[in-house]
Amino acid sequence: MNAAQTRFVSLLVPLALAFTGCASTGSTGSSGAAPNLSGTSWVVTRIDGSAPLADSALHANFGTDGRISGDSGCNSFAGPFIQTGSTVDIGELLSTRRACLDSNRQKQEARVLAILQGVTSARLERGQLNLRAPGGSLLLAPGTVTQVANSPYRRAQYDCEGSALTVQYDAGRARLEWRDGQDVLDQKAAASGVWYESSRNTLRGKQQDLVWTQDGRGTRNCKELR
């Protein structure tokens, strides 16, 4: 190798090392940074790598007060959380105790709560939040309570003058659950507006403020629980 060739090779070596360093940095970055979850809201898009059941509106909101709250499919939940870097320690989650109409939904809810509660690692991957626990993982997309609430597939809970009512809004239907019964109402529409009814129950008004009429039990005003 002559002197010119030696000089050429000596120039190539640092360039190759520089490009190798860039590639290595890019690979590390692709794993995602640890996000600051305080004040953020997310919608579940994957549970253990699989999509949630159809018509699910699973979401989690990390408050600035160190509290997490959300909807696990059949019930709402809330509890404390502490984030230290990429580690999120979620304490005991308290939830409403209403059975799902569907056993598969019940199993899905139990899975979501099991993954959430305890110590998880949090990473951003292509704009989505990956929460990974020893026994499973959740993938969540950025969202807000308002976005979930405006979905045609929405679950809400109401206080109807002392009686608890849960309503799952599906496309063209409303599925009702209360302490001693359940029912499925069909959506109706006319020039006066939209409502839901069956042979036994009727729901009228806005989704946040309903009037629930039950056959044989009269009419009650319902306020959505937040």
Q: What is the DSSP track for 103-136? A: HHHHHHHHHHHHHHSEEEEEEEETTEEEEEETTE
H helix or E strand, kind and range, residue 169: strand 163-170
- Give the closest residue to 169 by CA, choosing from 219, 218, 203: 203
Residues 157 and 143 in one domain: no
Residue 9 belongs to some domain of the structure? no
Q: Tell me: the pLDDT tens digits for 19-71?
A: 333 333 333 233 467 789 998 989 899 999 999 987 777 889 898 889 998 88
Residues 136 and 52 in one domain: yes
Residues 137 and 174 in one domain: no
DSSP letters, 24-41, are HHHHHHHT-PPP--TTEE
Residues 179 and 82 in one domain: no
Q: Where are the alpha helices (DSSP H) in the chain?
A: 3-30, 103-116, 145-149
**Using CA atoms, how far apart are residues 200 and 184, in angstroms rounded to an integer?**
10
Residue 12 belongs to some domain of the structure? no
Residues 113 and 94 in one domain: yes
Cβ-Cβ contacts under 8 Å for 97 (sequence gap 6 or more): 75
Residues 89 and 157 in one domain: no
Q: Which has more confidence, 172 or 163?
A: 163
83 alpha carbon, distance to own chain's centre: 19
Residues 50 and 144 in one domain: yes
Confidence of residue 152 (pLDDT cuts 50, 70, 90): very low
Q: Tell me: the pLDDT tens digits for 71-118?
A: 888 888 888 999 999 999 999 998 877 667 788 888 999 999 999 999
Could you give the percent of the chain with pLDDT greater than 70?
76
SS3 (DSSP) at 184: strand
Residues 156 and 137 in one domain: no
Boundaries of domain holding 186: 152-224
Residue 8 belongs to some domain of the structure? no
Residues 125 and 158 in one domain: no
Residues 162 and 183 in one domain: yes
Last residue of a domain, one of 148, 166, 181: 148
The full length of the chain comes to 226
Last residue of a domain, one of 148, 178, 204: 148
**Using CA atoms, how far apart are residues 220 and 109, in angstroms rounded to an integer?**
30
pLDDT at 11: 42
CATH number at residue 124: 2.40.128.270
